[in-house]
């Protein structure tokens, strides 16, 4: 029972679809944030649930770690093979199985990306709303409980997955949930697997809730003199109950980076980017209410972008803000914070974060899904200067603790991976031990993405 034996068995199972090439190992060892490249022992490209089950069984027999891989867009090192093992890349499992338009649901394999899915859905009048920005896979989004720009209206992955097929740590293939809209039949295994980051099993199929494409969509950018006015506008909008489809904040530094990268001409001040979904009449009503709130807080330039190409440009700029920011300092990497606080604490949290960054000497634009109380600081560091990474981590530590103090969470949507592992006992107390008990019960060999999310056997 050795690693070479395991790889031999995997190779017999998968043939060319098991790779140990330097190229593949490196491609599956990189992170989009500051983590160093980490090489697995092999990368597997299964074609079916049955193959995933066989892979897990082989790895279980040999005690080799198994780590799922979607599009590699995660930011907390979730898919890095910290203890070696086999990366299971779901790129070949990217089919849409069943589209039930009349039930507004669809069953997909985990390797399909959200953009590919929505492209396929376009003609049906339906769409899958969760939008983390990156063109992540649906399996990866479920595993990290992703959310994003539209969550203020449509919820997170937790709210938009009805049923799963999961390969358990012992290779069993289990189905969770049903195709009904709700159920009270036993423990919510679907919710347990969503956000487990592959530590309890590998998701091999998902049934998703879909939404009807809105009759009308309107979007707008509004500029503010300062952060507090922008955030006050958000808080009032949410408290009023306006059904915003998106309400995003970018600060002046982000606006500058976006201008340089996307060729836009935003004034160098804080902004809100908003979107409304509904009937024409509902849109008009919402815009009027929002315009009123905006005016009270000195918001400027509330111009509608109802033409699809204008909206596309707007959200393209927002979705590429991370890259725009990295691009503003060539060669830099980033520590990305992901705080989420109760909306009543949002203004205080964002302002204190801005002050902290300004005092640190680091560059760190702030942006986020403020309708949920969730925002990110992109702390830029020079990978050649370890002291910058230390300073960024110190800064992040300070922000994380502030969020917890405010009743919030250390990660609104990026997940734990190993980047946030140290904060889990602080956020959950003995609840983290309960998570470890569940992990130990379902994965006693600790082969599923070891070293992430939970503590094992310590």
Per CB under 8 A, contacts with a copy of itself among 331-360 are 338, 340-344
- Quick one: 42 or 68, whose CB is closer to a copy of itself? 68
Count of CA atoms in the C-beta half-sphere (13 A) of 137: 26
- Asked if 271 and 234 touch (Cβ cutoff 8 Å), the reply is no
Can residue 415 be called a binding residue for a copy of itself (CB under 8 A)?
yes
Around 307, how many Cα atoms within 13 Å sit in the side-chain half-sphere? 4
Minimum CB–partner distance for residue 3 and a copy of itself (Å): 28
Whole-number minimum distance, CB 388 to a copy of itself, in Å? 26
Distance CA 351, CA 229 (A): 11
CA distance 339 to 352: 12
Q: Which residues of 241-253 are buried (b: 16+ CB within 10 A; e: fewer)?
A: ebebbbbbbbbbb
Is 427 a residue that touches a copy of itself (CB under 8 A)? yes
Is residue 86 a contact partner of residue 61, using CB atoms and an 8 Å limit?
A: no
- How far is 181 from 325, CA to CA, in rounded Å? 41
Q: Return the number of the residue (94 or 409) whose C-beta is nearest a copy of itself.
A: 409
- Shortest approach of a copy of itself to residue 350 CB, angstroms? 14
Which residues, numbered 49-78, are part of the site for a copy of itself (CB under 8 A)? none
| Residue 192 near a copy of itself by CB under 8 A | yes
Q: Which is nearer to a copy of itself, 4 or 186 (CB)?
A: 186
The site map against a copy of itself for 154-183 (x = CB under 8 A) is: -xx-xx--------x---xxxxx-xxxxxx
Is 454 a binder of a copy of itself (CB under 8 A)? yes
- Is residue 405 within the footprint of a copy of itself (CB under 8 A)? no
Of the candidate residues 79, 235, 293, 447, the single one contacting a copy of itself (CB under 8 A): 235
Query: Residue 308 or 425: which CB sits closer to a copy of itself?
Result: 425
Q: Say if residues 105 and 162 touch (Cβ distance below 8 Å).
A: yes
H or E stretch at 281 = helix 280-296
Q: Is 85 in the site for a copy of itself (CB under 8 A)?
A: no
Binding mask 105-144 for a copy of itself (x = CB under 8 A): x--------------------------------------x
Cβ neighbors of 306 (< 8 A, separation 6 or more) are: 216, 217, 218, 219
Q: Report in angstroms how near the CB of residue 318 gets to a copy of itself at its nearest.
A: 19
Judged by CB under 8 A, does residue 430 bind a copy of itself? yes
Asked whether the beta carbons of 135 and 112 are under 8 A apart, the reply is no
């Amino acid at each position: 029972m050795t690693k070479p034996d395991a790889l031999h068995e995997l190779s017999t199972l998968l043939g060319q679809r098991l790779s140990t090439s330097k190229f593949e190992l490196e491609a599956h060892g990189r992170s989009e944030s500051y983590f160093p490249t980490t090489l697995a022992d092999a990368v597997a490209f299964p074609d079916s649930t049955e193959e995933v089950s066989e892979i897990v069984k082989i790895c279980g027999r040999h005690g080799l770690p198994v780590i799922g891989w979607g599009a590699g867009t995660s930011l907390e090192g979730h898919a890095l093979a910290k203890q070696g093992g086999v990366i299971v890349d779901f790129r070949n499992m990217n089919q849409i199985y069943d589209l039930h338009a009349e039930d507004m649901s669809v069953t997909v394999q985990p390797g399909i990306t959200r953009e590919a899915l929505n492209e396929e859905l376009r003609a049906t009048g339906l769409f899958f709303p969760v939008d983390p920005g990156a063109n992540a896979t649906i399996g990866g989004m479920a595993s990290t409980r992703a959310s994003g720009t539209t969550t203020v209206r449509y919820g997170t992955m937790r709210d938009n997955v009805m049923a799963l097929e999961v390969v358990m740590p012992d290779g069993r293939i289990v189905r969770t949930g049903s195709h009904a809209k709700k159920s009270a039949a036993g423990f919510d295994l679907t919710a347990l697997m969503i956000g487990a980051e592959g530590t309890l099993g590998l998701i091999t199929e998902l049934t998703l809730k879909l939404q009807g494409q809105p009759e009308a969509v309107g979007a707008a950018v509004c500029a503010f003199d300062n952060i507090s006015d922008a955030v006050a506008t958000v808080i009032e909008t949410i408290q009023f109950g306006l059904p915003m489809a998106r309400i995003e904040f970018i600060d002046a530094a982000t606006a500058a980076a976006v201008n340089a990268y996307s060729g836009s001409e935003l004034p160098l001040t804080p902004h809100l980017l908003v979107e409304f979904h509904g009937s024409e009449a509902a849109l008009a009503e919402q815009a009027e209410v929002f315009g009123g709130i905006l005016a009270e807080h000195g918001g400027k330039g509330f111009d509608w972008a109802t033409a699809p190409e204008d909206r596309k440009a707007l959200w393209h700029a927002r979705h590429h803000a991370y890259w725009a920011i990295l691009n503003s300092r060539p060669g830099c990497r980033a520590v990305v914070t992901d705080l989420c606080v109760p909306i009543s604490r949002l203004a205080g949290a964002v302002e204190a974060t801005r002050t902290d960054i300004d005092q640190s000497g680091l560059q760190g634009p702030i942006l986020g899904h403020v309708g949920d109380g969730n925002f990110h600081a992109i702390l830029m560091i020079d990978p050649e200067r370890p002291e910058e990474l230390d300073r960024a981590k110190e800064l992040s530590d300070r922000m994380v603790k502030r969020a917890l103090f405010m009743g919030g969470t250390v990660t609104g949507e990026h997940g734990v991976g190993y980047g946030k592992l140290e904060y889990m006992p602080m956020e959950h107390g003995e609840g983290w031990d309960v998570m470890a008990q569940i992990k130990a019960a379902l994965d006693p060999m600790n082969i599923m993405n070891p070293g992430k999310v939970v503590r094992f056997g310590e």
